[in-house]
Structure formats: C-alpha cells, structure tokens
Chains A and B, each alone.
Chain A
Amino acid sequence: MSLRGAAYIAGAWEHPTRKAPDKSIALLHAECAKGALADAGLTKDDVDGYFCAGDAPGTLGALSMVDYMNLKCRHVDSTDVGGSSYQLAVGHALEAIAAGHCNVALITLSGRPRSEGMATGTAPRAGNPGVPEMQFEYPYGPVTANMYGMCAARHMYEYGTTSEQLAWIKVAASHHAQHNPHAMLRDVVTVEDVVNSPMVSTPLHRLDCCVISDGGGALVLTKPEIAKSLKRPLVKVIGVGEAPKHQAAGDIDLTYSGARWSGPPAWEMAGIKPSDIKYASIYDSFTITVLMQLEDLGFCKKGEGGKFVSDGNLISGVGKLPFNTDGGGLCSNHPANRGGITKIIEAVRQLRGEAHPKVQVPNCDLAIAHGTGGLLGSRHCGSTVILERE
C-alpha cells in the first residue's frame, strides 16, 4: 500500500531567535511546539504522537519532553540520525498516521550551540570510547569541517569541480537571505568574497560553511480528514525515503551521499521526477553538501553539479531551481547544528505561497526538502521528503 498522501503538514513554525542565552533547550522546544500548533489551528491537547531526536535534552529526550509539555501520547519516536532526523520524522509520522497509531503528530527541534560557545565544526569531540569506530577515528581529529572538506577534495579530483562553482551556492543563499529579517548573514556576497574568505579546512573556506545559531522549529502532521477541517492551505506528503551511508568496511566512496538511495523511493512514491520540482530545500551544512545532494537526487548528472549551480541557477527568479529561499543554513539558521527542520518549514512556506514576496516561486505546487545528518565523510543519513500543494 502506498503511503502517498496519507498525511498533511498542517503546521510549520520556525523560532525567530538566533541567540537564546536566557532560554533552556526544553523551553525552546515547547515554544516551537506552541508556534506550529497555533499555525495549524490546533492545541497541545490534540497531539497524540510526538517525534524528536538527539537535540532533545537528556538521554531519554522524548520522555523528558512529553513530560515537560505534559502531552498525552500514544505514539513516540526519537530516532536520531543528526540533522536529517526531521525529514526522517516526517516519514515515520506518515507511517504512524497511516497505521492509525496517531492522528496529530508533533515534531520539534531546538538547541543553542551559539550561546554555549560551541566550536561546532572545528573542535574534535571525544565520545564514548566504546563506540566501535571512536578509537580509530578520534585520534586523527575528525571534525565537521574536514569530514566535508575531504568530500569536496575528492569531488574536485574526480570531476574537476572548482571552489568558484561551490561559491555560487553561498552566493545564491545570500541573495535570498537579504530578504529574511531573521537571517544571521544578510549581506549579499560574491564568488570572490567566498573564495577569498579564510580557509577553514581545505578546500572549504569560511563562507563555504553554515552559520552556528540557537533556535529551533516544529511541524505538525495530521491525517487528511483533520487537515481538511483546518483553515490552512493543504500541504500533502507525497514521497519519503531514508538511507544511511557509511564506510562500508573500508570500501569508501566520498563522491556521493545517501541521497542516491533515499531519493528513488521518494520519487517513486510521489510519482514525479526532479524536473517537476518548482522549489528545492537542500541541506546546506556546507556548499559541497548541496552540490552532492543535487547530483544524487537527480537534478543533474553525477559530476556536473558544479556547472549546474553556477551563474545563479539556484537563485529564485533568476535560475531554474530556486533553493533555500530563506537563506538556508548557509546564511539564515542552523539551529542545534541541525538544519533538517528549517528545510521542511521553508518548503511549506513556498507551497502555501507564504515565502517572502521577493523569493516566492510562482505557482509553487511541488517541492522537495532533503536532509543529510551526521558526517558526509564517514557516517550519515540521507532523508528525502516530497510535498505537494493540493
């Protein structure tokens, strides 16, 4: 049985904060929940399914959060695959709603790495030495920046991709961010600005990286009958897919991401192809992340991503594939170091016609929101969501 259309995104809300030193992570989760429920026209007492991931406080974060918000749930899911956990949660909520395990699913994310002074992408983080790969990786200093840097270096080696081509991705994001009053970086930048910014980890420069921000977001999914009883435009979930990619016992290929596997089932369920998409939210922890996912999702051929993203092709109103029209993680927001949920929220805005008028895609009826969680260079999970305006 296809789950196409078994659930709708009835509520979507992004916290406007980018720095929240006076709020706890639990409070930010709850504020996001309140915002998304109000957007949908529902209350917390309507929620009977709760979804969160590793950003929820504590090791039993889902239990802590249903207690904190005093939710009465009959379904709970805290699958954590990093920044794409929220795409995954949309898929899992779709399954749960279709199976009758819940009627109103709430998904929340929040965090405050900025207030906590976390050196997100550049400081090695020692973990539990019992994690099986830890002792064979941590000594070498794997951090976000170099684990994406190695992917970029290999892509350049195999396909001739250049730093200037990667820079176009940041340029496009900055053109969109100038219209977002909440974006952290609102100045429009040029290719030269990006390639002349300080090197972080070769070949990635400072402006190839996303922002570090506090904040969060939430989504409310419901079954069709409830969605149709509400007053919001109807945004239907028509395709989902998820796929972890890892080191394959040493058979490492850094030129593609999990999107190569999460995309096809989502396209098949949706019954559409990449050229049908009017707006794309693509996870943008770094510029290289966007380029590889666009190739892997089929928007262009493998190895041609550099050419595809150049010359403003991702800029709304200019190019063929408007992407991340809120400014994305590269310029606006990467709350809790996890950009998945803001990708879905901006896709919902576009489908409702509620994006900023300067970046709104005309007649936007089909959108994709793809996430990559974890580290592109070692272990990550690709997760794809395809949405339709009904």
Chain B
Amino acid sequence: MAPEVRQMPARKIPFVGTPDTNPETKPFFDAAAAGKLVVPRCKDTGKFFWYPRGISPFTLGPVEWVEVSGNAKIYSLSVMERANPPYAMAYVTLAEGPTMMTNLVDCDFKALKIGQDVKVTFVQTEGEGPSMPCFTPA
C-alpha cells in the first residue's frame, strides 16, 4: 500500500507595499506578471545578481534585465513546521549564478533535499498583489 501523502494547505503569500514602491524594480514585476523570471545583470561585468535593484552591486554601474531559464538547485531549506500551514523557506541557486530567497511549493516537504533540481513557478500574492517566483521540484 502506498504511503498516504498528507496534503498541506498552501500558505497564502503576503506582499508589502506595491511594485510602485520601488520603481527601479518595475522590469522584474512586469515580467513576473507575465509568468517570466527576469533577473538583473550588471552591464559592466556581465554578472547576474540578486535581489533586484536599479544599480549594480558590483560596480554601481548600469543594469540590464534579462529573462533566465528558471532552473535552479536548492542551496538550503527550512520547513517552518511551527506555522499553520507549514511552509518551506529556501535559498535556491539559479542556473545563471545568484542564490535567491524563495519558497518551495506544490510538493511533499519531507522529500525535499539540498542539491535537488527545482524550477520556477509563479504564485500570486494576497489581495491581488503581484506574482512572486516560487520553486517546485523539476
């Protein structure tokens, strides 16, 4: 008999402010609304970085916004079992380089492992807020 998989109710993802609060990050939110993961890249060094900002953290130079693959590996995770419903906090390392904070969703939390391949999926935040990138096993 196959083990019973406990279905966790998905945590509602909150947002604070609006995308207009930080207008420099508009390209990220516009792409997320269209289901695309766009990550900022330093034009001087060609290196991607995270979190989104309108100035390069490597050179304080200009930034370009580039759609990436959405493929990543779990760098670390912590399942917040004390919360109701529980949720899986994680850092994932994008195939393009930077590591970003996210949640792991639509999966059995107990089966998640560091190093595991994951792919992006967008979740709309509460109150018809903007969509945010989450990740799920590839």
A174 to B102, CA, bound (A): 35
Contact partners of B22 in chain A: CB under 8 A: 129-130, 132, 135
A319 to B19, CA, bound (A): 54
B-contact 0/1 string along A119-140, CB 8 Å cutoff: 0001010110110111111111
Of the candidates B16, B48, B76, B102, the one whose C-beta lies within 8 Å of that of A138 is B16
Can you name the residue of chain A whose Cβ is closest to the Cβ of B102? Answer: A140
Can you name the residue of chain B whose Cβ is closest to the Cβ of A255? Answer: B76
Contact partners of A122 in chain B: CB under 8 A: 80, 82-83
Contact partners of B90 in chain A: CB under 8 A: 150
Q: Check if A301 is an interface residue, CB within 8 A of chain B.
A: no
Q: Check if A153 is an interface residue, CB within 8 A of chain B.
A: yes
Of the candidates B53, B80, B103, the one whose C-beta lies within 8 Å of that of A132 is B53
B-contact 0/1 string along A292-312, CB 8 Å cutoff: 000000000000000000000
Contact partners of A146 in chain B: CB under 8 A: 78, 80, 89
A51-59, A162-170, A197-205 - interface stretch? A197-205
- The A-B contact count (CB < 8 A) is 133
Q: Check if A317 is an interface residue, CB within 8 A of chain B.
A: no
A378 to B78, CA, bound (A): 14
CB distance B76 to A150 under 8 Å?
Answer: yes
Q: Check if A249 is an interface residue, CB within 8 A of chain B.
A: yes
CB distance B51 to A132 under 8 Å?
Answer: yes
Q: Check if B46 is an interface residue, CB within 8 A of chain A.
A: no
Tell which of A126, A143, A249 has the most Cβ of chain B within 10 Å.
Answer: A249
A364 to B49, CA, bound (A): 48
CB distance B82 to A200 under 8 Å?
Answer: yes
CB distance B50 to A141 under 8 Å?
Answer: no
Q: Check if B33 is an interface residue, CB within 8 A of chain A.
A: no
Q: Check if A254 is an interface residue, CB within 8 A of chain B.
A: yes
Can you name the residue of chain B whose Cβ is closest to the Cβ of A121? Answer: B82
Q: How far is the CB of B127 from the nearest CB of chain A, in Å?
A: 12
Can you name the residue of chain B whose Cβ is closest to the Cβ of A149? Answer: B78
Contact partners of A134 in chain B: CB under 8 A: 16-17
B-contact 0/1 string along A361-390, CB 8 Å cutoff: 000000000000000011000000000000
Known: A200-B82, A201-B82. A135 touches B15 (CB 8 A): yes
Contact partners of B77 in chain A: CB under 8 A: 150, 153, 202
CB distance A201 to B81 under 8 Å?
Answer: yes
CB distance A151 to B76 under 8 Å?
Answer: yes
**Which residues of chain B from 30 to 89 have any CB-CB distance to chain A below 8 Å in the complex?**
48-53, 57-58, 75-83, 87, 89
Can you name the residue of chain A whose Cβ is closest to the Cβ of B134? Answer: A140
A145 to B86, CA, bound (A): 13
CB distance A135 to B99 under 8 Å?
Answer: no
CB distance A202 to B99 under 8 Å?
Answer: no
Q: How far is the CB of B38 from the nearest CB of chain A, in Å?
A: 13
**Which residues of chain B from 78 to 112 have any CB-CB distance to chain A below 8 Å in the complex?**
78-83, 87, 89-91, 97-103
> Beyond A136-B100, A138-B16, A250-B51: 18 further Cβ-contacts under 8 Å?
A127-B16, A129-B17, A130-B17, A137-B51, A140-B101, A141-B80, A141-B103, A147-B78, A149-B89, A150-B78, A153-B76, A157-B76, A198-B82, A200-B82, A201-B81, A201-B82, A249-B98, A252-B91
Q: What 7 pairs across the A-B complex have the smallest Cβ distances?
A: A129-B17, A250-B98, A149-B78, A250-B50, A136-B51, A249-B49, A249-B57
Chain A residues within 8 Å of B, Cβ to Cβ: 122, 124, 126-127, 129-130, 132-143, 145-147, 149-154, 157, 198-204, 247, 249-252, 254, 377-378
Chain B residues within 8 Å of A, Cβ to Cβ: 11, 13-19, 21-22, 25, 48-53, 57-58, 75-83, 87, 89-91, 97-103, 114-115, 125, 132
13 examples of A-B residue contacts, CB within 8 angstroms: A124-B14, A126-B14, A126-B16, A135-B19, A135-B21, A136-B51, A138-B16, A140-B101, A140-B102, A153-B78, A198-B81, A199-B82, A204-B78
